[in-house]
Structures are given as structure tokens and as C-alpha cells.
Amino acid sequence: MRRTNSRQATGRGTARRRWGHISGGLILTLAGTLGTAVPAAAPATGQAAGPTAPAPGPVRQGTDEDGPDTARRSESECNLSTGPYQKDVERHLGLVVDGKQSAADCAAIQTFQREHDVVPAQGYAGLYTYRAVMWRQALAEGDAVRGCPDTSGVVVCIDMNRQVLWVEDAGTILFRPVPARTGSPDYPTRSGWFEIYKREKEFWSTLYDGPMPFAQFFDGGQALHASYRNIWEDPGSHGCVNLRYDDGKTLWDVLRLGDAVYVWGRRTGG
């Protein structure tokens, strides 16, 4: 049975829960880049934890993020093509919202991409950049972050629409929103109510022959765990919920066996 006692002051009330059944699942292989942690009870902006594992730089691959003619551009060269999320990115960055790329737009988007490890950082308003925007917007919502039902205790909230994860305790944010990568269309993360039923700090996937640091299983083989890949990139996972390494490490200290997990929405992209 899961714990129902709140770890903080009583929040906004309770809600009836529908618990998912634990079933067989798939486990993800990891490779990629180190992220930046948002501590569990952090103030408004996250602080980066010290390096905890060696990792290469951002993975470079051809994607929708690249835009036209990216292969002929250097990493620092601006891409003046209008991206599919141009207006959304312009609005978030306080630019003129006209849906048309300009040199000034490109420079501002490049700066945002570099600050958030979006690769390639060429100023193109593609899906990876939009995912970073959605995370920053969720972070800015504070305790009003939307989507997770009110409960009487701890619940891990996984919004697959925005690709973000946070933890609430009786309606109060216990772990601020962080970027997440859920399952690809071929291996979707299952939605519904679950519980953390197994935790293993140094789990190794025999199915995919790869590490799953700070693995916290909630539905068969599907787990919350740290990843060495760039968090924004496709493809999605094999059903697990990937986190940046330091976020996964911090989350390990926040959760316990029996904590609730609520998953909803649908991942956009691969």
C-alpha cells in the first residue's frame, strides 16, 4: 500500500484515484549528455549540482531541429529559416511575435539554445527548442503548475504533452518541474495511476545492455531514471521516463517506495 501521509503542510484536498495494474514493460538503454539539476525544495531557479558522472557533450544528429541546409552551416552560424514553433518561441523570449525569422530572432534563440543545451544551437525554432520553452513555462508556474490531480500525499506528475516531470505533496510542489523524455511512438509510456514498487540506484538493463542510474520502477519495466543523452532529442525512450543525470539523482532522494505516479498526455515527435 502507498503512503498517504503528507510530507508537508496539508494541501488543497484529496481526489479519488484509479490505480494502474503493473504489467510487463521495456527498459531503456542510455547514452548522451549531462544535465542540470533542479533541487527538490529549490527556490525559483534551479542550481546545478556538481559533476557526478562523466559524459560527452551534446549529441549531434540530423533532426527537425536543424531546419533547411543545416549540414552546410557551422555550429555557430545562424539559421535564418522560420521554424515550426517560431511564434511560440518568439512569445516566450519577448520578441516581436510575427512568425517570421529575423537576424535578431535568430541571435536571441541561439542564446536560449546555448543556455539550455539545445543542439544544434543555430537559432532555428524547432521541436527541441520548443520542448525547452515548455519546460521553462512549467517551471515559471510554481505551485500553480497544471495537470496533476490534487491528492492527500506525494505524487510524481508526468506531463507527456509538455515532456516535464515534477513532484507534489498534498498540492505543494516538493520537486520543481524538470525536463523529461517519455516513450517513443513505438514504445509509449503507459498513462494512468501507478506506484513506485522497486528502486535500484545502479540498475543495469540486460535487455538493452546499458545503465539505468537511479532507477525507480512504477509499471513493469517502465521506470524513472537518469540518462546520459541530451534530454531534448529524439528518439523517445523504450517506455521509461528519462531525466537529466543530476535531476534523476536528486529525485532519488525525494521519492520512496509506494509513492504515487500519475502519467498523462502524449509525446510529440519521435
Residues of the chain with CATH 2.40.440.10: 1-56+150-270
Contact 137, 93 (CB under 8 A): no
Contact partners, residue 115, CB within 8 Å, separation at least 6: none
Strands (E), the chain: 154-159, 164-169, 172-181, 192-195, 198-205, 210-219, 222-227, 241-244, 260-264
Residues 76 and 123: their CA atoms lie apart, in Å, by 9
Instruction: Count Cβ atoms within 10 A of the Cβ of residue 248 and give its class: 0-12 exposed, 13-18 middle, 19 or more buried.
Output: buried
**Strand residues in 60-219 grouped as ranges (E):** 154-159, 164-169, 172-181, 192-195, 198-205, 210-219
For residue 57, give the amino acid letter.
G
Sheet of 198-205, strand order: 192-195, 260-264, 154-159, 164-169, 172-181, 241-244, 222-227, 210-219, 198-205
Q: What is the pLDDT along the chain (270 residues), one digit of tens a residue?
A: 444 445 543 333 333 333 333 333 333 333 333 333 333 333 323 322 333 343 433 433 345 565 665 555 566 799 999 999 999 999 999 999 999 999 999 999 999 999 999 999 999 999 999 999 999 999 999 989 999 998 889 999 999 999 999 999 988 999 999 999 999 999 999 999 999 999 999 988 887 778 899 999 999 999 999 999 999 999 999 999 999 999 999 999 999 999 999 999 999 999
DSSP state of 144: G
Fold of 1-56+150-270: L,D-transpeptidase catalytic domain-like (2.40.440)
Predicted structure pTM score: 0.76
**Distance, CA of 176 to CA of 164 (rounded, Å):** 10
Half-sphere CA count of 97, side-chain side, radius 13 A: 9
Spatial distance between the Cα atoms of 176 and 259, rounded to a whole number of angstroms: 16
